[in-house]
Amino acid sequence: MERLEPFGAPGNQVVVTTSYITSKRDIVREVSHQYDEEDGDVWQFHSGNGDYAPSVIQLVALEQLLRLAPSLRDLPEIPRGWIARRRDESSPWKLEREV
């Protein structure tokens, strides 16, 4: 399967998001890239509202998320252990190391 840029991951890779993105169609304001020894690269896409309750967390394929939010293809490369944030869709992404 083709690797999708800027993620360097196949389209069928499972990523973490919430129903705010998939159902309520909020914009993605936070993208994090971690590494887990068991799962490998872990990508998370959130609205930035701080609600990470189990009832709203969803696992979806990266390609599905990119169909919902095509502007994510404009993300800068995010190294493992970093997070990208933006205020709204017209704001630039700002990268910072996760604490």
Low-confidence spans in the chain with pLDDT less than 50 = none
Distances (CA, A) of 67 to 4, 11, 25, 37, 55: 12, 11, 12, 28, 23
pLDDT confidence of residue 20 = 97
pLDDT confidence of residue 6 = 87
- The pTM of the full predicted model, rounded to 2 decimals, is 0.93
Name the H helices within the chain: 19-22, 62-68
Tell me the residue type at 81.
G
pLDDT confidence of residue 1 = 67
Strands (DSSP E) along the chain, which ranges?
A: 3-4, 9-10, 14-18, 30-36, 40-46, 57-61, 82-85, 94-97
pLDDT tens column, 67-82:
999 989 889 889 999 9
Q: Tell me how far apart the alpha carbons of residues 66 and 72 are, in angstroms, rounded to a whole number.
A: 7
pLDDT confidence of residue 71 = 87
Q: Tell me how far apart the alpha carbons of residues 72 and 67 are, in angstroms, rounded to a whole number.
A: 9
